[in-house]
Amino acid sequence: MTLTLKQASRRLEQLCQAEHLNVFEHHNGVGRVVIPVLTEHVHTALDDGPAEQYEFFRARATHAHALNADFHICHNQVSVTVCHVTQTVKFGPGGQLIMGRRGIGLGPSLMATVIKWLHSKKIPTYSIEPGDLSRVDATTEGERLQRNRFYTAFGFSLWTTFTSERGLDVVDGHFGAVNVGCLTVPDRYQNRLRTWQAFENALGDERLEGVKNLAELKDIDRWISGKAWLSRLLLNFLKWPLPFRTRHKHPLKPWEVTPENTMTENLSVKQ
């Protein structure tokens, strides 16, 4: 029995192996939100088919409302199934791409990751099976335009089966492209994900800088405390932006740099 790409996809996603851990970051107006993104891949045969007939690749992000898990069964992910015998490709899951958090650029980042992987396979002539547009993302005109612009930005075409609607006007229809070579990744989505290693290194540098800054503030607090009201009056006159704290009177945490060491390091750098 010949499997459809949709059937193959359901079986391959059970066989895929975790490949890389990445990080997606965005600002919510208050602070930085970090969302882990996992890429998974498998290249194998199914049943009695030729060796390595199918490939499956998926990029999926953690979902805050997944049931007893970090990842949702179908949301917050973009996948692609490739058949090297029929030279066809199908996007998933199930053709419908649904993001649990919209408007933050997560969906485009996942799609960009999948398309860049497809380009790395050097299969520009492989045809693309149509996928279904999600009605969930088109309950209002604004949401419909946002959904349709998402697909067209990557080179997909949009159409309906029984009406003449095309492109941005499509409400309930399909997305697809002639072949993989028609798909592109806009510059604004090229580097939205960072590897976990790069993120961890940057986070360590930020923490070290924060620890040094805290040590310097404790030095200032100690000086203010020793000078009492006169020093506070002087700082108020100079419009010192931070209120006086007694940080230096609290025991140092194990990870804190001592103020003396910090000041010595700063003097050494200046010299």
Top-ranked range on mean pLDDT: pick from 13-17, 225-229, 237-241: 13-17
Mapped onto helix, strand or coil, the DSSP state of residue 22 is strand
Query: What pLDDT, in 10s, does the model give residues 122-172?
Result: 999 999 999 988 887 778 888 889 999 999 999 999 999 888 889 898 988
pLDDT band at 28 (very low <50, low <70, confident <90, very high): confident
- The mean predicted confidence, pLDDT, of the chain is 84
Tell me the H-state helices in 32-153: 106-120, 141-153
| Six token digits for residue 158 | 């949009």
- Cα Rg for the chain, rounded, in angstroms? 26
Q: What pLDDT, in 10s, does the model give residues 119-134?
A: 999 999 999 999 988 8
In this prediction the pTM is 0.78
Element containing residue 113 per DSSP (H, E): helix 106-120
Look at residues 88, 67, 69, 85 and name the one whose alpha carbon lies nearest to residue 6.
88
pLDDT score, position 270: 41
